[in-house]
């Protein structure tokens, strides 16, 4: 009975730690994706003088074909939803020249998890979803601003 109680207590202490590690892993993965994609889009803009044309959620921006893997762009994110290239679009009442959003699609609905979004913000930005480059944009979906 004592052994069962000790094991139960250890398991109860381990579950929150496991969830914390899972959140950090997801936040880091999304942060790495956004940084890598942003760098590729930025290089494209520097080389051509323009940003790629607008692409809908879950659609690969054709101009990026030799710069990022289409499978990386088109997969469902760990938050749900898919990456969405925004060129000259409005988010939260502000127009941005270049941004990457995570948007709901019919095949990949976005799961709004404010705690996880704040964890992502801490990984890639200032930890505040109302300021910096990682924000809550249109329809409550996260957006990473590349160029204001």
Q: How far apart are CA 110 and CA 113, in angstroms?
A: 9
Q: Average pLDDT for residues 10-31, to the nearest whole number?
A: 83
Q: How far apart are CA 86 and CA 54, in angstroms?
A: 6
- The pTM is what? 0.87
Average pLDDT of the chain is 91
Task: Provide the 10 A C-beta neighbour count for residue 25.
Answer: 12
Q: Is the pLDDT of residue 6 over 90?
A: no
Specify the number of domains making up the chain: 1
Task: Provide the 10 A C-beta neighbour count for residue 24.
Answer: 13
- What phi and psi values does residue 67 have, to the nearest 5 degrees? -115, -35
Domain that holds residue 40: 2-147
Task: Provide the 10 A C-beta neighbour count for residue 70.
Answer: 12
Q: Is the pLDDT of residue 92 over 90?
A: no
Could you tell me whether strands 134-136 and 94-103 are parallel, antiparallel, or unpaired per DSSP bridges?
Answer: unpaired
Q: Is the pLDDT of residue 74 over 90?
A: yes
Query: pLDDT-based confidence at 112, cuts 50/70/90?
Result: confident
In the chain the first and final C-alpha atoms are separated, in Å, by 62
Q: Average pLDDT for residues 16-39, to the nearest whole number?
A: 90
């Amino acid at each position: 009975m004592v052994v069962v109680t000790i094991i139960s207590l250890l398991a109860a202490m381990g579950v929150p730690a496991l969830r914390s590690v899972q959140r950090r892993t997801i936040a880091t993965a999304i942060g790495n994706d956004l940084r890598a994609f942003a760098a590729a889009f930025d290089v494209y803009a520097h080389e051509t003088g323009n940003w790629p044309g607008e692409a809908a959620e879950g659609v690969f921006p054709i101009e990026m074909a030799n710069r990022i893997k289409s499978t990386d762009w088109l997969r469902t994110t760990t938050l749900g939803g898919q990456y969405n290239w925004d060129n000259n679009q409005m988010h939260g009442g502000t127009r941005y020249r270049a941004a990457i959003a995570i948007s709901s699609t019919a095949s990949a609905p976005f799961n709004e998890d404010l705690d996880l979004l704040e964890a992502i913000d801490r990984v890639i930005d200032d930890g505040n979803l109302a300021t910096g480059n990682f924000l809550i944009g249109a329809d409550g979906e996260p957006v990473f601003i590349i160029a204001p």
